[in-house]
Amino acid sequence: MEYQDTLIKTLGMEFVELGKGKVIATMPVNENTKQPFGFLHGGASVALAETVASVGAVNLIDLDKEICFGLEINANHIKAKRDGIVTATGTVIHQGKSTMVWDIKITDEEDQLICISRCTMAVVPKK
Protein backbone atom coordinates (compact mmCIF):
# COMPACT_ATOMS: atom_id res chain seq x y z
CA MET A 1 0.00 0.00 0.00
CA GLU A 2 1.23 3.49 -0.79
CA TYR A 3 1.43 5.86 2.19
CA GLN A 4 3.12 8.87 0.59
CA ASP A 5 1.19 12.14 0.95
CA THR A 6 -0.99 10.74 3.75
CA LEU A 7 -1.41 11.33 7.46
CA ILE A 8 0.56 8.11 8.01
CA LYS A 9 3.68 9.67 6.52
CA THR A 10 3.06 13.11 8.03
CA LEU A 11 2.91 11.68 11.56
CA GLY A 12 5.84 9.32 10.97
CA MET A 13 3.94 6.07 11.49
CA GLU A 14 5.76 2.87 10.60
CA PHE A 15 4.32 -0.63 10.42
CA VAL A 16 6.17 -3.30 12.38
CA GLU A 17 3.75 -6.20 11.89
CA LEU A 18 0.88 -6.71 9.44
CA GLY A 19 -0.98 -9.91 10.16
CA LYS A 20 -4.45 -11.35 9.83
CA GLY A 21 -6.26 -9.86 12.80
CA LYS A 22 -3.23 -8.08 14.29
CA VAL A 23 -1.29 -4.94 13.36
CA ILE A 24 1.59 -3.24 15.16
CA ALA A 25 2.79 0.26 14.25
CA THR A 26 5.04 2.87 15.81
CA MET A 27 4.89 6.67 15.84
CA PRO A 28 7.45 9.17 17.12
CA VAL A 29 6.57 11.74 19.74
CA ASN A 30 7.96 14.84 18.05
CA GLU A 31 7.00 18.27 16.70
CA ASN A 32 4.46 16.67 14.34
CA THR A 33 2.64 14.71 17.06
CA LYS A 34 2.84 16.98 20.13
CA GLN A 35 0.30 19.48 21.39
CA PRO A 36 1.43 23.06 22.25
CA PHE A 37 2.41 22.14 25.82
CA GLY A 38 4.98 19.60 24.65
CA PHE A 39 3.10 16.35 25.20
CA LEU A 40 1.84 13.72 22.77
CA HIS A 41 -1.39 15.05 21.28
CA GLY A 42 -4.44 12.91 22.03
CA GLY A 43 -5.54 13.36 18.44
CA ALA A 44 -2.26 11.90 17.20
CA SER A 45 -2.84 8.86 19.42
CA VAL A 46 -6.35 8.49 18.00
CA ALA A 47 -5.01 8.84 14.46
CA LEU A 48 -2.49 6.07 15.17
CA ALA A 49 -5.21 3.86 16.67
CA GLU A 50 -7.60 4.32 13.73
CA THR A 51 -4.79 3.77 11.26
CA VAL A 52 -3.90 0.45 12.89
CA ALA A 53 -7.56 -0.64 12.87
CA SER A 54 -8.05 0.49 9.27
CA VAL A 55 -4.98 -1.27 7.93
CA GLY A 56 -5.90 -4.34 9.94
CA ALA A 57 -9.42 -4.36 8.54
CA VAL A 58 -8.11 -4.00 4.98
CA ASN A 59 -6.08 -7.18 5.54
CA LEU A 60 -9.28 -9.08 6.38
CA ILE A 61 -11.56 -8.05 3.51
CA ASP A 62 -11.74 -8.79 -0.22
CA LEU A 63 -10.50 -5.50 -1.67
CA ASP A 64 -11.90 -6.38 -5.09
CA LYS A 65 -15.42 -6.38 -3.63
CA GLU A 66 -15.28 -4.38 -0.39
CA ILE A 67 -13.85 -1.27 1.22
CA CYS A 68 -13.75 -0.26 4.88
CA PHE A 69 -14.06 2.98 6.80
CA GLY A 70 -13.78 3.99 10.43
CA LEU A 71 -17.31 4.10 11.85
CA GLU A 72 -16.62 4.95 15.51
CA ILE A 73 -13.58 5.36 17.72
CA ASN A 74 -13.03 6.11 21.38
CA ALA A 75 -9.87 6.52 23.36
CA ASN A 76 -8.80 6.81 26.97
CA HIS A 77 -5.53 8.68 27.38
CA ILE A 78 -3.86 7.03 30.36
CA LYS A 79 -0.40 8.57 30.58
CA ALA A 80 1.31 11.63 29.12
CA LYS A 81 4.44 11.32 26.99
CA ARG A 82 6.96 14.03 26.04
CA ASP A 83 9.33 12.26 23.64
CA GLY A 84 10.41 8.92 22.24
CA ILE A 85 8.27 6.43 20.37
CA VAL A 86 4.86 4.94 21.01
CA THR A 87 3.75 1.55 19.72
CA ALA A 88 0.17 0.67 18.84
CA THR A 89 -0.91 -2.96 18.89
CA GLY A 90 -4.30 -3.59 17.35
CA THR A 91 -6.21 -6.85 17.47
CA VAL A 92 -9.57 -7.66 15.97
CA ILE A 93 -12.12 -8.66 18.61
CA HIS A 94 -15.14 -8.95 16.29
CA GLN A 95 -15.12 -9.71 12.59
CA GLY A 96 -18.58 -9.61 11.06
CA LYS A 97 -19.85 -9.21 7.51
CA SER A 98 -20.51 -5.48 7.80
CA THR A 99 -18.50 -4.39 10.86
CA MET A 100 -15.29 -5.15 12.69
CA VAL A 101 -14.30 -4.06 16.18
CA TRP A 102 -10.63 -3.51 16.96
CA ASP A 103 -8.91 -3.13 20.34
CA ILE A 104 -5.81 -0.92 20.20
CA LYS A 105 -3.30 -0.45 23.01
CA ILE A 106 -0.66 2.26 22.67
CA THR A 107 2.41 1.79 24.86
CA ASP A 108 5.77 3.46 25.39
CA GLU A 109 9.27 1.99 25.25
CA GLU A 110 8.87 0.58 28.77
CA ASP A 111 5.58 -1.11 27.77
CA GLN A 112 3.59 1.33 29.93
CA LEU A 113 0.07 2.02 28.69
CA ILE A 114 -0.29 5.47 27.11
CA CYS A 115 -3.71 5.09 25.49
CA ILE A 116 -6.34 2.43 24.98
CA SER A 117 -8.80 2.66 22.13
CA ARG A 118 -11.62 0.75 20.52
CA CYS A 119 -12.43 1.32 16.86
CA THR A 120 -15.43 0.03 14.92
CA MET A 121 -14.83 -0.38 11.19
CA ALA A 122 -17.65 -0.43 8.61
CA VAL A 123 -17.20 -2.93 5.76
CA VAL A 124 -19.18 -1.90 2.68
CA PRO A 125 -19.50 -3.33 -0.82
CA LYS A 126 -17.72 -1.47 -3.62
CA LYS A 127 -20.08 -0.08 -6.22
The catalytic residues are 50
Calpha distance 86→88 (Å, rounded): 7
- Residues near 101 by beta carbon (within 8 Å), at least 6 away in sequence: 92, 93, 94, 118, 119, 120, 121
DSSP state letter for 40: B
Across the strands, what pairs with 123? 68
